[in-house]
Structure 1
Amino acid sequence: MDVRRRLTLLAVTIAATPLVIGGCTADQRSAVKGGHGKASGPSVTMTPADRTKDVPISAEVGAKASGGKITAVKLTDDKGQPVPAEVREDGSSWVPSRPLQNSRTYTAEVTATGDSGRTTTQKTTFTTMAKSTKPAIKTELYFTGDQTYGTAMPLVVAFDPPIPKEARADVQRRLFVKTDPPQPGTWSWESDGKQAEYRAPDFWKSGTKISVRSALEGLPIGKDAFGDADRSATSKVGRQVSLDIDNGTKQMSVYQEGKLLRKIPVSLGKSSTPSSSGTMVIMEKFDRTTFDTRGDPNGGYVVDVDDAQRLTWGGEFIHSAPWSEGEQGYTNTSHGCANVSAAAADWLMGITQVGDLVTVKGTEVKLDQGNGFTAWNVSWDEFAKGSALPVPAGLKPTQSAAPHPGAVAGGSAAPAPEPSKSNSGG
């Protein structure tokens, strides 16, 4: 049975080019006030230009100073209320902390200070567009707030319909990630445009606080669509746990902080329905769920299972299978899942977290990229190739880059609703 992905999904992202703000410009006159004395202060260029209309509610305030640096930015609405905003990591623009409202007028005031201390203050006033009647691209963020995730948890955003290649850079610029302590990373798109994932070159450090925002509400995407929502969440990274499953030995090795805790006999997928070999991440956990394979090529059954942990969208789980305990450790009998004993499955539920790494090797088929959270199923270099924006050459495994203090990071893949998933299991 196909089930819509539920909303569930982190290190400073890569600095991005400023977002181009569209709209109909009445003129580009601005009020400029000279600083001290007769000498003029630095010149300031701003976007949106003064008196611009039909500005998207995803607009950012762009400001560039010639002969000085930006020292203050203030954004207010037409009622004089301040609008909180954060500076991009590259300093190119200020991003409102929430979407602007439709059909409202906003004023941005920017102050730049020159080397001599003279200042220039410039204002721009713009009006946002009416609510669009164009279709919205549905987005989903697979990272929820106030949770504890495993060290391999990627940030995942899904889109329905998929994002075309030419629109991915604009979407990626509006995906923001911050981590404490900092671990820079990048977003990477699946080739079909249905999903974007974010990870750092190395696994997250235990105790890391991760905040993500997919600021896509009102963002023009291509010519005919807009983003549907602004989503954000903050959670932390827990202990390091990983599972290694070897089809050759029919054993699962469970590690915590690099130390072997236990080996568990398994029964994997039989030859007609083999398990996938690859590097996966535990996506979600269920104390009890139902596998319904009616309509699947090799299915046709409905069964309730206990202690199930999802590994793929296609329906591969680790779960309790008391009916196959005699074969576990010796023979593969499942429909693709990793069957373990009822006692072992119950123990695993107390050890693992969503976001823990699971590696399966020695089966007849390889894991399809995008079938689950597959950010670790490829090398860092291969993963980085999937970014729609440039990735700094120095961003490599075991290395870290110092972030811009207080900056909001953005500029990689985007969030959206998900492709269908199956609870087939077996």
Structure 2
Amino acid sequence: MPASRVHRRTPSRKAAWRALSAAALAGILALTACGSDSPGASWNDGKKDGGQQADSGPKQGGTITSPAADAKDVPASTTIAFTLENASDPSIELKSASGETVEGELQEDGKSWLPEGALEYATTYTATINATGADGKPTTSTSTFTTMAKPSKVVRVSSFLGDGQVVGVGMPLIVRFGRAVPKDYRDDVQARLFVRSTPHQEGIWHWASPTEVRFRPKEYWQAGTQIRYKLQTGGLPMGDGYYGRADVNVDVKIGPSLIMTVDNKTKKMTVTKDGKVVKTIPVSLGKKSTPSSSGTMVVIEKQRKTIFDTMDDPNPENRYRTPIDFAQRLTWSGQFIHAAPWSEGQQGRVNVSHGCVNVSMAMGEWLFGQTRIGDVITVKNTEEKLQNGNGWTDWNMSWEQYVKGSAIPYNG
């Protein structure tokens, strides 16, 4: 059986209006009866129980977003990240609880500020962001955080070069880590390796291994370049609960542009200095059984006197123990430029070495006095190609190959 419908009579519009008007009138009479001290009627927007509410307009200013307010155990390597809303011209002040000011600078992203070095461990800091609002008035906001206790697991970070060294135009900046840096952390580490050159030259970091990263410019360093690089790794997370032990700062200078070019076809080395040919030197390269490598290398180390000892070589023909003068290492496998008085009769005509670039005693001494660590040598037209990694082979790679070794995408 279908449910029955109940019909209700709806009051007419006029009757409803009369009832509403009567209720309103009663309310007015009631308010009047309260006396003249009663507050006047006002709009209520939900923000206050009553009273006049002024419109303050849109929010203006900056907000510290990281570290979070009252955060604990913050890494000593932290940056100060912030956002701006209807504001411009941000500046950051960072002070310890004792009132000591920390120096630093805004980063290129315009959204963060980096202290000039690692913060103190187990210390409370207050970050203040000052900005100019859209109305031209100054704004200020603060946030307080506390750094972590000093970690027990640290990674040593070191530079191959030391302060004040003068090196060749092909010298890569080499940074080594006392422990392998996990792949997922390399971009964060690389982002804390800063290079400033005067004059400015475009360059990039390249991970040669999990424990070594190198920097080279797109072209050879310009002669006389001043380089300052900072490894801001103190307190920086490096995976598996390890942190960078300390920051490292290095200042070096690039010397004259000295380039050596060896051509197996002519058996000669051409030496140019600052773009001018200063010497042509007869050479003897590796014989067919032990060829010299073709490729671009740099001088890794120099020894006025040394001994070449290959007595552990499995091939009896390659075993020897010989005193050497004016040795300049080019590869880890043992190829050098060096004086070889025993082959002076063959230099410029025949290859008789075990892979080295043989020059006369006089030319070995002269060349030794001209070169620096990082000077460039290119060997051409031999039977064997240089293998990348066999020495500082950063210039044996094209720029396109080199940037692939960066942990941060290249946007040049």
| SS of equivalent to 2:394 | coil
Deviation for aligned residue 1:251? 1.4
- 2-side partners of 1:105 and 1:188: how far apart? 36
* Partners of 1:49 and 1:126 within 8 A in 2: yes
1:323 paired residue among 318, 342, 346: 342
Amino acid corresponding to residue 160 of structure 2 in structure 1 = Y
Q: Specify the alignment match of 1:58 in structure 2.
A: 77
| 2:156 corresponds to 1:131 | no
The residue identity in structure 1 corresponding to 2:332 is W
Paired residue total: 355
Q: How do residues 109-258 of structure 1 correspond to structure 2 at under 5 angstroms? A: 109-134=128-153, 136-190=154-208, 192-258=209-275
Cα distance in 2 between the residues matched to 1:238 and 1:383 = 24
The question of 1:356 aligning with 2:356 is answered no
- Which one-letter code corresponds to 2:399 in the other structure? W
Provide TM-score, normalisation by structure 1: 0.76
1:332-381 CA-partner distances (Å, limit 9, x unpaired): 33333222222111111222222222101222322222222222111111
Query: What amino acid is the match of 1:144?
Result: G
How many angstroms does 1:295 deviate by?
Answer: 4.7
For residues 89 and 354 of structure 1, what CA distance do their matches in structure 2 show?
A: 33
| Separation of aligned partners in 2, 1:128 and 1:305 | 55
Matched, 1:377 2:396: yes
CA–CA separation in structure 2 for the residues paired with 1:91 and 1:292? 57
Unaligned runs of 5+ in 1: 1-36, 396-426
Change (3 A) 1:114 1:288: farther
Q: 1:297 and 1:44, CA in 2 relative to 1: closer, same or farther beyond 3 A?
A: farther
Q: Contact between 2:127 and 2:143, CA under 8 Å: does it hold in 1? A: yes
Structure-2-length-normalised TM-score: 0.78
Q: What is the CA–CA distance in structure 2 between the aligned matches of 1:300 and 1:69, rounded to whole Å?
A: 72
User: What is the aligned-residue RMSD (CA, Å)?
Assistant: 2.5
Output the CA distance in 2 between the equivalents of 1:109 and 1:250. 67
Q: 1:79 to 1:333 in 2, by over 3 A?
A: farther
Instruction: Determine which structure has greater relative contact order: mean sequence separation of CA pairs < 8 Å that are 6+ residues apart, divided by chain length.
Output: 1
Distance (Å, rounded) in 1 between the aligned partners of 2:123 and 2:73: 10
Structure 1 pair 124/316, CA: closer, same or farther in 2 (3 Å)? farther
Residues 223 and 274 of structure 2 are in contact (CA less than 8 Å); yes or no, is this contact kept in structure 1?
A: no
Contact 1:268 1:333 in 2 (8 A): yes
Distance 1:347 1:106, change over 3 A: same
Moved over 6 A (4+): none
Q: Distance in 2 between matches of 1:304 and 1:79?
A: 63
Please tell me whether residue 102 in structure 1 is matched to residue 121 in structure 2.
yes
Q: Give the drift of 1:38.
A: 5.9
Cα distance in 2 for residues equivalent to 1:224 and 1:327: 59
Unpaired segments ≥5 residues, structure 2: 1-54
Deviation, structure 1 residue 255: 0.9
Deviation at 1:253, TM superposition (A): 0.9
Larger-Rg structure: 2
Aligned residue identity for 2:371:
T
Which letter does structure 1 place at the counterpart of 2:216? R
Trace 1:267-306 onto structure 2 (pairs within 5 A). 267-293=284-310, 295=312, 301-306=320-325
The 1:382/1:53 distance shift into structure 2, 3 A limit, reads: same
Distance 2:82 2:306 in 1: 53
Change beyond 3 A, Cα 1:114–1:335: farther
Superposition deviation, residue 306 in structure 1: 2.7
Contact 1:267 1:340 in 2 (8 A): yes
CA distance in 1, matches of 2:71, 2:344: 69
Name the stretch that deviates more: 325-334 or 42-51. Answer: 325-334
Matched, 1:310 2:329: yes
Deviation at 1:130, TM superposition (A): 1.9
Q: Deviations over 1:244-291 (max 9, x none)?
A: 112222211101122221111222233343322111122233333444
Q: In the TM superposition, what whole-angstrom CA distance separates every residue of 1:88-115 from its partner, at most 9, and x where no partner exists?
A: 2333322222222222222222212223
Q: CA deviation at 1:390?
A: 1.7
In structure 2, how many angstroms separate the alpha carbons of the residues matched to 1:301 and 1:217? Answer: 47
Is the 2:293–2:384 Cα contact (8 Å) retained in structure 1? Answer: yes
Paired with 2:342 and 2:143, the residues of 1 have a C-alpha distance of 70
CA–CA separation in structure 2 for the residues paired with 1:241 and 1:315: 22
Matches within 5 A, 1:13-52: 40-52=59-71
The answer to whether the 8 A contact 1:104-1:128 is kept is yes
Q: SS of the counterpart of 2:395?
A: coil
Work out the CA distance in 2 between the residues paired with 1:76 and 1:311.
Answer: 50
Displacement after TM superposition at 1:294 (Å): 5.5
How is 1:378-397 mapped onto 2 (pairs within 5 angstroms)? 378-392=397-411, 395=412
Do the aligned partners of 1:183 and 1:204 also contact (CA within 8 Å) in 2? Answer: yes
1:368 aligns with one of 350, 372, 387: 387
SS where residue 368 of structure 2 aligns?
helix
Provide the C-alpha distance between the structure 1 equivalents of 2:245 and 2:353, rounded to a whole number of angstroms.
Answer: 40
- In the TM superposition, what is the alpha-carbon distance from 1:211 to its structure 2 partner? 0.9
Contact kept in structure 1, 2:62 and 2:90, CA below 8 Å: no
Q: Which residue of 2 aligns with 1:342?
A: 361
Structure-2 residue corresponding to 1:18: none
Q: 2: distance between equivalents of 1:301 and 1:368?
A: 24
Q: Is the 8 A contact 1:63 1:70 kept in 2?
A: no
Choose the corresponding residue for 2:95, options 63, 76, 85: 76
Contact 1:64 / 1:70 at 8 angstroms: preserved in 2?
no
Quote the offset at 1:302 in angstroms.
Answer: 4.8
User: Quick check: 1:195–1:370 contact (8 Å CA) kept in 2?
Assistant: no
